[in-house]
């Protein structure tokens, strides 16, 4: 079985910003996960009995780890209302939005309100950039990440309301780098884009079927749909 490997860096917020450089990279190493996209993809996941509630708790409700760091523990952490998105005309990002809305079964993205704005004017939403994925040690696995800016891997401060769990911030979905063409990873050109939008929409730590094993899978879709549809 031929597999593609890539990294998704998962980092804490203020704790890393205050930490010495050595501790910072040690923490990065702990939370970095190797993703192996196997040819079976979602089919292998479908054969397993997966507890979606448990996976949702692991990646979103439980706030003990990145990127939540104790904020809004036990709450669903997600965007409210339509989510403004500026794709900058990147086709695989548009495809990712289409795929997500089909799975969720309704429109969740506002693709117009910030599309023509300069990034400095945007106060809320998701901005997609290309060739800007980063990690501390760049290599051919540096294919995508979410952060507070292009070529950044920290999230913004106070991006989640501690009382409501509402995500209200600007996040960047950074696709591809000089070391990795994200379009060549996964089963389709938009798989990494979908994965990174998953993080931006509220999925934190990876789980089996989302960065552990396949880039995305049936388990990933079930958790994302439950987050946005099942109150």
H or E element in which residue 92 lies: helix 91-104
Q: In this model, does residue 207 exceed pLDDT 60?
A: yes
Alpha-carbon dihedral sign for residues 208, 172, 68, 28:
positive
Lowest mean pLDDT among 4-8, 127-131, 211-215, 218-222: 4-8
pLDDT at 30 over 90: no
Supply the pLDDT for residue 136.
84
Query: What DSSP line would sit under 130-181, residue for residue?
Result: ES----SS--TTB-EEEESSTT--SPPTT-B-TTT-BB-SEEEEEE-BTTB-
- Give the bridge partners for 42, in sequence order: none
Q: Which of 103, 99, 129, 125 is nearest to 112 (CA)?
A: 125
Give Cα 124 distance to the centre of its chain: 17
Tell me, what's the pLDDT at 10? Answer: 41
Contacts of residue 154, defined as CB under 8 A and 6 or more positions apart, other chains included, come to 11, 13, 16, 17, 147, 148
What's residue 19's pLDDT?
Answer: 36
Q: Contact, 97 vs 126, CB < 8 A?
A: no
Q: How confident is the model at residue 14 (pLDDT cuts 50, 70, 90)?
A: very low
pLDDT digits (tens, 9 = 90+) for 37-94: 333 344 444 445 579 999 999 999 999 999 999 999 999 999 999 999 999 999 999 9
Comparing C-alpha atoms, which of 38, 3, 13, 7 is closest to residue 155?
13
DSSP 210: B
The pLDDT value given to residue 194: 98
pLDDT at 134 over 50: yes
Average pLDDT rounded to a whole number, residues 112-136: 97
Average pLDDT over residues 23-32: 32
Is 93:173 a contact under the CB 8 Å cutoff?
yes
Q: Which residues of 8-37 are buried (b: 16+ CB within 10 A; e: fewer)?
A: bbbbbbeebeeeeeeebeebbeebbeebeb
pLDDT for the residue numbered 48: 52
Confidence at 137, pLDDT banded by 50, 70, 90: confident
Token pair recorded at residue 61: 């409700």
Residues whose CB is less than 8 angstroms from the CB of residue 152 and which lie 6 or more positions away in sequence, other chains included: 134, 172, 174
User: In the prediction, which pLDDT does 50 show?
Assistant: 73
Share of the chain above pLDDT 90, in %: 74
Show the tokens assigned to 28: 């990065």
Q: What is the pLDDT of residue 221?
A: 98
Task: Give the Cα separation of 80 and 82 in Å (integer).
Answer: 7
- Yes or no: say if 127 and 40 are a contact pair by the CB < 8 Å rule: no
Helix (H) / strand (E) containing 95: helix 91-104
């Amino acid at each position: 079985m031929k597999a593609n490997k890539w990294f998704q860096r998962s980092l804490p917020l203020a704790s890393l910003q205050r930490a010495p450089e050595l501790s910072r990279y040690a923490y990065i190493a702990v939370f970095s996960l190797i993703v192996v996209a196997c040819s079976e993809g979602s089919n292998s996941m479908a054969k397993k009995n997966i507890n979606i509630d448990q996976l949702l708790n692991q990646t979103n409700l439980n706030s003990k780890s990145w990127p939540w760091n104790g904020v809004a523990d036990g709450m669903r952490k997600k965007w409210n209302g339509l989510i403004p998105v500026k794709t900058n005309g990147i086709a695989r990002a548009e495809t990712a939005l289409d795929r997500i809305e089909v799975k969720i079964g309704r429109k969740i993205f506002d693709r117009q309100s910030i599309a023509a704005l300069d990034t400095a004017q945007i106060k809320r939403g998701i901005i997609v950039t290309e060739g800007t994925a980063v990690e501390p040690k760049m290599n051919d696995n540096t294919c995508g990440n979410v952060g507070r800016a292009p070529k950044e891997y920290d999230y913004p401060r106070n991006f989640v309301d501690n009382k409501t769990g509402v995500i209200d911030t600007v996040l960047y979905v950074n696709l591809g780098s000089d070391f990795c063409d994200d379009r060549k990873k996964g089963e389709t050109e938009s798989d990494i884009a979908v994965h990174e939008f998953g993080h931006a929409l509220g999925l934190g730590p990876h789980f089996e079927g989302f960065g552990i094993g396949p880039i995305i899978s049936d388990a990933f879709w079930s958790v994302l749909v439950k987050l946005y549809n099942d109150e």
